[in-house]
Amino acid sequence: MYLIYIYIYMYVLIHVSKYMKNCGCPQLLSIFYKENGGFNFENLKRNEILIEKGAKLPTFRKTGTTICGLVCQDAVILGADTRETEGPIVANKNCCKIHYISKNIYCSGAGVSGDLEHTKIWLQHNVELHRLNTNSEPRVAMCVSRLTQELFRYQGYKECAIILGGVDVNGPQLYSIHPHGSSSLLPFSAMGSGSLNAMAVLEAKYRDSMTIEEGKELVAEAISAGIFNDLGSGGNVDICVVTRDGSQMIRPYKEPNVRLFHLPQPTVFPRGTTPYLCEKVENLKKLITIEDA
């Protein structure tokens, strides 16, 4: 019976489409061919038209970043630097790159700061709605699934490289999520422009069943390696420890580049400090001549 209905629907749709094409009604025909998702290029076309008319579009802000994370005993530890760059300019020296998702799930991000901020808020709302609908605490795998599906829709045009970690009924878990939507479950991971330096430290010193204190020191050392060896990374070291019961945000955990020399404050002398011998007041208005242009 259902096959008959489908056949009738397709038959009517094909003949109505042919009739509308012959009658020149593309606006009515578009009703039957609605988009079902994917990337929308309307703004891209709009931007091209604006550029042709001489408009100067604002540049995006991109975090040349070092982020990393690792799994230790009953916890996940995330770390990040605090430098936000806009091309060769340091736009923000104390940017927070570790984001709250839920009570037991956090993420750190690298990429375009606008995309990261929007994606973080979108994921927070979806996870909270899922918690209210199911009346249960969200799981890390659910967050990763929703995030990878969203990023895959945009085929990498959302420049969000994310390390997501948390602790649920399945224990501590850490995922590395790339902008095009792929994900990997790993014991430790590093992303961003300084990831090679951080990964060198993690691969050399990571071991299973590390304590939380050992994990914090290793994450701080990995982020510091990115800060000192990558021009896009800098500032302080932020760390977040996520356990089953909650989280502990330590900001800053370490300040490797403390400013030693500060600009001197100007010396303000009180009025009358300098003595003077005489005073002469002269009216100069009579010497000023105003002429028409």
Cα 137 to Cα 72, 169, 241, 250, 269, distances in angstroms: 22, 9, 18, 24, 64
Output the tens digit of pLDDT for each of the chain's 293 residues. Answer: 545 655 566 666 566 565 555 555 555 445 545 555 556 677 788 888 888 888 887 776 556 899 999 999 989 999 999 999 888 888 889 999 999 999 999 999 999 988 999 999 999 999 999 999 999 999 999 999 999 999 999 988 899 999 999 999 999 999 999 999 999 999 999 999 999 999 999 999 999 989 999 999 999 999 999 999 998 999 999 999 999 888 999 999 999 888 888 888 888 888 888 888 888 888 888 888 888 86
Backbone angles phi, psi at 72, to 5 degrees: -130, -165
Active-site option among 59, 63, 65, 66: 65
224 CB neighbour count, 10 Å cutoff: 23
CB 177 within 8 A of CB 138: no
Phi-psi region of 155 (alpha: psi -120 to 50; beta: other; left: phi over 0): left
CB 94 within 8 A of CB 65: no
Q: Is 82 a catalytic residue?
A: no
Residue 202 is given by DSSP the state: H
